[in-house]
């Protein structure tokens, strides 16, 4: 599904140039659950953003489903992301002014689906995350664990082939964190590819491969 070759990412200002990723090569097969670990500032989130096509590499090549991503225009990148990649963020990134139902429905508005099909998918996603009884609530009326469940529902509602999770349990207590990891494990067992950035060794243990980054390099990979 994903093939990255000699990826380099530089952030430049007038005074400094920071090398966030340094010759990173990585392959992820369809159906894998990969955890990316490393200290703060090692390039984990930068790599995830490039995989999710939210950012671009300075050098190197990135293939997603055999397409050369670095050669695509922004409009084609947006079209490729849409309905193919779901995102889960540490800070949930829900829209406070929208209800839970509307937050989950949002990705579907770009897929040209009928109102009935959107409703079916939203209800299915909310049931899968045990949140249908909160459909008419607003994000600020929910606990952190409940908001992350909604974020997962939003990520899966378009039935993406790939889910990218950036510290999905980072703002949760251990009990809610374990529930979120169980949800992600269940999604992976149903065939969804997951790439997760985490500082948590116990969360990473749910994956079937752990990639360790240090100073922008892949220093090791552990298969389970």
Q: How far, CA to CA in Å, does 94 sit from each of 1, 76, 192?
A: 28, 25, 22
Local structure of 3: helix, strand or coil = strand
Distance (Å, rounded) from C-alpha 206 to C-alpha 90?
A: 18
Distance (Å, rounded) from C-alpha 41 to C-alpha 46?
A: 9
pLDDT per residue as tens digits for the range 12-59: 887 788 899 999 999 999 999 999 999 988 999 999 999 999 999 999
Mean pLDDT of all residues belonging to the chain: 93
The candidate with the shortest Cα–Cα distance to 65, out of 77, 47, 48, is 77
| Percent of the chain whose predicted confidence (pLDDT) is above 70 | 100
pTM (two decimals): 0.91
pLDDT of residue 212 exceeding 90: yes
The pLDDT of 57-79, averaged and rounded, is 90
Q: Which of 56-65, 71-80, 100-109 has the lowest mean pLDDT?
A: 71-80
């Amino acid at each position: 599904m994903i093939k990255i070759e000699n990826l380099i990412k530089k952030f430049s200002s007038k005074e400094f140039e920071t090398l966030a990723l340094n010759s990173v090569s990585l392959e992820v097969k369809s159906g894998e659950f990969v955890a990316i670990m490393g200290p703060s500032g090692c390039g984990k989130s930068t790599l995830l953003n490039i995989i999710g096509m939210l950012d671009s590499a300075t050098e190197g090549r990135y293939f997603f489903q055999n397409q050369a991503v670095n050669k695509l225009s922004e409009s084609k990148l947006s079209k490729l992301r849409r309905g193919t990649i779901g995102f889960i963020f540490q800070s949930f990134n829900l829209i406070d002014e929208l209800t839970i139902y509307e937050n989950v429905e949002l990705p579907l508005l770009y897929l040209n689906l009928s109102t009935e099909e959107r409703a079916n998918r939203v209800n299915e996603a909310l049931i899968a995350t045990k949140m249908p009884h909160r459909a008419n609530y607003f994000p600020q009326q929910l606990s952190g664990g409940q908001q992350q469940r909604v974020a997962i529902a939003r990520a899966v509602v378009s039935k993406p082939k790939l889910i990218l999770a950036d510290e999905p349990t980072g703002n949760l207590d251990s009990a809610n964190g374990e529930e979120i990891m169980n949800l992600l494990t269940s999604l992976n067992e149903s065939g969804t590819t997951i790439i997760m950035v985490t500082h948590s060794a116990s969360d990473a243990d749910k994956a079937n491969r752990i990639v360790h980054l240090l100073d922008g390099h892949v220093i090791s990979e552990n298969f389970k």
